[in-house]
């Protein structure tokens, strides 16, 4: 559809408290297209907007960010769940430009500065917002299809592994006595190999699905996340007589389930990669400016320097660990989770002297840092370092 047609068929919901100013926006909207076809519904609160969205379909939402109690931002969040195909353009002032960026992060497509809305600017913003939304929807459809494919492929790949295990057990039972011991041993190893392959398929599926549900961050205690991870690792911790020292950890703004996955992987590795000693693991935090740095120190075999960056890539394992079971996906998963929280992860280690894994997490919700200078600092620290 070309720009003219797009503008002519607009059905707009305008959410703006001030009726006089709303009239000005409506006039501008009517000016850029055929006023008879261009339908604008004006409401003055988010409650009225919810009510309209429940009963009608709109091709565009204009939303004034100066509604009371940040309710405009809540409306954007809600629309992503209830009416995800509507493009949103927010209206604000230069002083509140940081808030506009927050609105974009929450799902708005564009913003316009009040008092500076010209005809070409308005047409451009509408056109871009509609196109951006279309592309976003098509991308999310492709992701859904890929996810469905990954699940089906994982299921179909795992099914024959169960048969391999079953058939090898039957052959051993039926004909085991007539076999050479070396052949019997080979048959015995088949279920173990099938088990490893199944674990690799499960890990690959978990890695590819990670983050697709979206983060659900909150102000959380890391102690609770570690506790939950240790419960899942209980057998391993007991079998290896591991000691885990946990100090009082700072609060962070993170997704509690994903933090549990992070600790499950890092503490699990710290228990696994030891030689001839019981694992001793210490977990502590350091309170930085806008971040908390988490440290997980072990007394394990350590990691050669040239491997210390590579091990965070998928399917990479360090050369000194080929005798240990693993798929090489745990740290890649951890890195993906930490980076989704605007954090970073690294390791300091030397072979024979243990390793310390470090990662950073935000203390506050990055989206509530409205002061543009603070937000700039935050982005610089988290994404560019």
Q: What is the closest distance, in whole angstroms, from the C-beta atom of residue 185 to ligand ADP in the complex?
A: 25
CA distance 299 to 270: 8
Give Cβ neighbours of residue 341 (< 8 Å, ≥ 6 apart). 215, 217, 253, 254, 255, 258, 361, 362
Q: What is the closest distance, in whole angstroms, from the C-beta atom of residue 281 to ligand ADP in the complex?
A: 9
Our CB check for ligand ADP shows the closer of 25 and 237 to be 237
Beta-strand relationship, 110-113 and 218-221? unpaired
CA distance 101 to 191: 54
Q: How many helices (H) and strands (E) does the chain have?
A: 12, 12
The dihedral through the CA atoms of 122, 127, 128, 133 has a sign that is positive
DSSP string, 335-378: HHHHHHTT--EEEEE-TTS-EEEEEEEESS-GGG--SHHHHHHH
Our CB check for ligand ADP shows the closer of 40 and 270 to be 270
Start-to-end C-alpha separation, the chain: 43
Our CB check for ligand ADP shows the closer of 191 and 300 to be 300
Q: What is the closest distance, in whole angstroms, from the C-beta atom of residue 327 to ligand ADP in the complex?
A: 4
Our CB check for ligand ADP shows the closer of 69 and 323 to be 323
- Find how far residue 228's CA is from the centre of its chain: 20
Our CB check for ligand ADP shows the closer of 131 and 202 to be 202
Our CB check for ligand ADP shows the closer of 261 and 355 to be 355
CA distances from 364 to 60, 171, 251, 329, 376 (A): 32, 60, 9, 29, 14
Our CB check for ligand ADP shows the closer of 136 and 295 to be 295
Our CB check for ligand ADP shows the closer of 111 and 273 to be 273
Q: What is the closest distance, in whole angstroms, from the C-beta atom of residue 298 to ligand ADP in the complex?
A: 5
Q: What is the closest distance, in whole angstroms, from the C-beta atom of residue 206 to ligand ADP in the complex?
A: 12
Our CB check for ligand ADP shows the closer of 24 and 317 to be 317
Q: What is the closest distance, in whole angstroms, from the C-beta atom of residue 301 to ligand ADP in the complex?
A: 5
Residue 280 pairs with which residues in a beta bridge? 243
Q: Classify 25 as helix, strand or coil.
A: helix
Our CB check for ligand ADP shows the closer of 173 and 323 to be 323
Q: Exposed (0-12), middle (13-18) or buried (19+): which is 75, by Cβ within 10 Å?
A: buried
DSSP string, 109-170: -EEEETT---HHHHHHHHHHHHHHHHHHHHHHHHHHHHHHHHHHHHHHHHHHHHHHHHHHHH
For 318, the enclosing helix (H) or strand (E) is none
CA distances from 288 to 252, 360, 365 (A): 11, 9, 15
Q: What is the closest distance, in whole angstroms, from the C-beta atom of residue 303 to ligand ADP in the complex?
A: 5
Structure tokens at 205: 């599926």
Q: What is the closest distance, in whole angstroms, from the C-beta atom of residue 204 to ligand ADP in the complex?
A: 12
Q: What is the CA radius of gyration of the chain?
A: 28
Give Cβ neighbours of residue 285 (< 8 Å, ≥ 6 apart). 222, 247, 249, 250, 292, 293, 294, 295
Q: What is the closest distance, in whole angstroms, from the C-beta atom of residue 187 to ligand ADP in the complex?
A: 26
Q: What is the closest distance, in whole angstroms, from the C-beta atom of residue 183 to ligand ADP in the complex?
A: 30
| Contacting positions for ligand ADP (CB under 6 A) | 265, 269-270, 273, 298, 300-301, 303, 311, 317-318, 321, 326-332, 355
């Amino acid at each position: 559809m070309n720009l003219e047609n797009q503008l002519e068929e607009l059905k707009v919901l305008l959410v703006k408290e001030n009726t006089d100013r709303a009239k000005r926006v409506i006039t501008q909207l009517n000016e850029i297209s055929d006023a008879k076809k261009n339908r604008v519904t004006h409401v003055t609160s988010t409650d009225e907007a919810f009510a309209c969205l429940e009963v009608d379909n709109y091709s565009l939402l204009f939303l004034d960010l100066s509604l009371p109690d940040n309710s405009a931002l809540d409306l954007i969040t809600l629309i992503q769940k209830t009416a995800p195909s509507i493009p949103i353009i927010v209206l604000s002032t230069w002083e509140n430009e940081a808030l506009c960026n927050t609105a974009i992060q929450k799902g708005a497509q564009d913003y316009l500065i009040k008092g500076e809305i010209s005809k070409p600017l308005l047409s451009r913003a509408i056109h871009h917002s509609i196109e951006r939304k279309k592309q976003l929807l098509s991308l999310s459809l492709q992701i859904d299809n890929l996810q469905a494919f990954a699940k089906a492929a994982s299921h179909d790949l795992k099914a024959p592994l169960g048969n391999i295990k079953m058939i090898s057990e039957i052959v051993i039972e039926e004909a085991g006595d007539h076999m050479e011991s070396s052949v019997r041993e080979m048959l015995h190893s088949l279920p173990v190999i099938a088990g490893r392959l199944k674990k690799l398929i499960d890990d690959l599926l978990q890695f590819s699905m990670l983050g697709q549900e979206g983060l659900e961050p909150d102000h959380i205690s890391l102690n609770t996340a570690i506790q939950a991870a240790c419960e899942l690792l209980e057998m391993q911790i007991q079998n290896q007589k591991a000691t885990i020292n946990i100090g009082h950890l700072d609060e962070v703004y993170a997704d509690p389930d994903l933090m549990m996955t992070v600790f499950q992987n890092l503490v699990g590795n710290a228990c696994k990669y030891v030689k001839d000693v019981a694992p001793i693991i210490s977990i502590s935090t350091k309170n930085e400016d806008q971040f908390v740095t988490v440290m997980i120190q072990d007394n394990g075999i350590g990691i050669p320097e040239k491997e210390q960056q590579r091990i965070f890539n998928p399917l990479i394992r360090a050369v000194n660990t080929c005798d240990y079971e693993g798929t090489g996906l745990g740290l890649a998963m951890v890195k993906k989770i930490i980076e989704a929280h605007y954090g970073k992860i690294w390791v300091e280690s030397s072979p024979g002297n243990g390793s310390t894994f470090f990662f950073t997490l935000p203390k506050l919700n990055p989206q509530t840092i409205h002061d543009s200078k603070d937000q700039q600092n935050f982005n610089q620290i988290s994404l560019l370092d």
